[in-house]
Amino acid sequence: MIMSLSNDCRLLSQRIVMLSMLLALLLSPTLFALQDKLDQQLDHYLQLAADDYEQAAALLLQLQEHDSAEHSIASRVRLYSYLTVHYLYATDEQQTDTWLQQALSLASATNDPDALADAQATEIEVLALRQQFNDAVLKAELLHQQGISASNPRSRYYAHNLLGRVFREDGQYELALKHFVDALQAVTETQDQRTQRRTMFLHQMIASIHAELKNFAQARQLIEHLIADAKTYQLDTELPEYYLLYGYIASFQDDDVLAEQVNLQGLAESQRQGHAGLALVFKNNLGAGYIKAGNFGQARTILNDALKQATDMQTPSDTHLIRFNLGYIDVAEGNHASGLAAMLEVINYFREIKLKTQLEDTLGWLAKAYALADRHQERADTLAEQMALREEILNSDRDKVISDLQSRYDNKAKAQQITILQQDNDLTHQLLRNKQLQQRITLLFVIVMLFGAVLLLQLMFKVRKTNRRLKEANKQLEYQSLRDPLTGLFNRRALQEQMQRRVSFSRRQTDICERENGFLLLDIDFFKKINDDYGHAAGDEVLKQLSERLTKACREQDLVVRWGGEEFLLYLDNVAAEQLTGFCLRILKLIASEPVLYDGKLITVSASGGFIHLPFAGITETELNWERALQIADMALYLSKVNGRNQVYAITGLRCDYATANQALSNDLQGAIRQNMVDYITIKGPPLPAKI
pLDDT at 507: 58
DSSP state of 483: B
Q: Which helix (H) or strand (E) holds 611?
A: strand 607-614
pLDDT at 89: 87
Average pLDDT over every residue of 588-603: 92
Choice among 248-252, 417-421, 625-629 with the minimum mean pLDDT: 417-421
Reported as a pLDDT band with limits 50, 70 and 90, residue 45 is confident
The per-residue pLDDT for range 551-566, each reduced to its tens digit, is 999 998 899 999 988 9
Closest CA to 204 of 175, 167, 166, 164: 164
pLDDT at 476: 64
> 627 φ, ψ to 5°?
-65, -40
Q: Is 408 exposed, middle or buried (0-12, 13-18, 19+ CB in 10 A)?
A: middle
% of the chain beyond a pLDDT of 90 = 31
Average pLDDT over every residue of 183-206: 84
**Partners of 598 in the β-ladder:** 601
Rg (alpha carbons) of the chain, rounded to whole number: 32
pLDDT at 36: 62
- More confident of the two residues 622 and 464: 622
CA distances for 216 relative to 246, 254, 261, 279, 377, angstroms: 10, 11, 18, 24, 39
Reported as a pLDDT band with limits 50, 70 and 90, residue 549 is very high
- More confident of the two residues 134 and 520: 520
d(CA 307, CA 290): 16
pLDDT at 50: 66
Examine the pLDDT at 496 and tell me if it is beyond 60. Answer: yes
Average pLDDT over every residue of 614-621: 89
Q: Give the distance, in angstroms, between the CA of residue 217 and the centroid of all CA atoms in the same chain.
A: 19
pLDDT at 421: 62
pLDDT at 10: 45
Closest CA to 567 of 640, 476, 671: 640
pLDDT at 424: 60
Average pLDDT over every residue of 352-373: 84
The per-residue pLDDT for range 285-330, each reduced to its tens digit, is 998 888 888 898 999 999 999 899 889 888 888 888 898 999 999 9
| Sign, Cα dihedral of 121, 122, 127, 133 | positive
Examine the pLDDT at 399 and tell me if it is beyond 80. Answer: no
Mean pLDDT in the chain? 83
pLDDT at 572: 93
Examine the pLDDT at 398 and tell me if it is beyond 80. Answer: no
Closest CA to 221 of 252, 192, 246, 255: 246
pLDDT at 603: 93
DSSP state of 644: T
Average pLDDT over every residue of 238-249: 90
pLDDT at 325: 92
- Three-point CA angle 389, 391, 395, nearest 5°: 120
Task: Name the CA dihedral angle for 553, 559, 565, 566, rounded to a multiple of 10 degrees.
Answer: -20
Strands 601-603 and 678-684: unpaired
d(CA 594, CA 692): 12
pTM over 0.85: no
DSSP state of 685: P
Cis peptide preceding 316, ω within 30 of 0: no
The per-residue pLDDT for range 152-178, each reduced to its tens digit, is 888 888 889 889 988 888 888 888 889
- More confident of the two residues 517 and 6: 517
First and final C-alpha spacing in the chain = 34
Strands (E) located in 279-412: none
Strands 559-562 and 567-572: antiparallel
Choice among 145-154, 195-204, 409-418 with the minimum mean pLDDT: 409-418
- The one-letter code for the residue type at 204 is Q
% of the chain beyond a pLDDT of 70 = 85
pLDDT at 9: 46
Closest CA to 243 of 227, 258, 231: 227
The per-residue pLDDT for range 423-435, each reduced to its tens digit, is 566 566 677 776 7
pLDDT at 514: 56
The per-residue pLDDT for range 499-534, each reduced to its tens digit, is 888 877 665 544 444 568 999 999 999 999 999 999
DSSP string, 506-554: HHH-SSPP---EEEEEEEETTHHHHHHHH-HHHHHHHHHHHHHHHHHHS
Q: Give yes or no for a contact between 281 and 289, defined as CB atoms under 8 angstroms apart.
A: no
Q: Is 400 exposed, middle or buried (0-12, 13-18, 19+ CB in 10 A)?
A: exposed
DSSP state of 171: T
pLDDT at 253: 85
CA distances for 174 relative to 168, 203, 210, angstroms: 9, 15, 10
Choice among 93-97, 350-354, 364-368 with the minimum mean pLDDT: 350-354
pLDDT at 486: 92
Average pLDDT over every residue of 363-391: 88
- More confident of the two residues 625 and 391: 625
Helix, strand, coil share (%) of the chain residues, nearest 5: 75, 5, 20
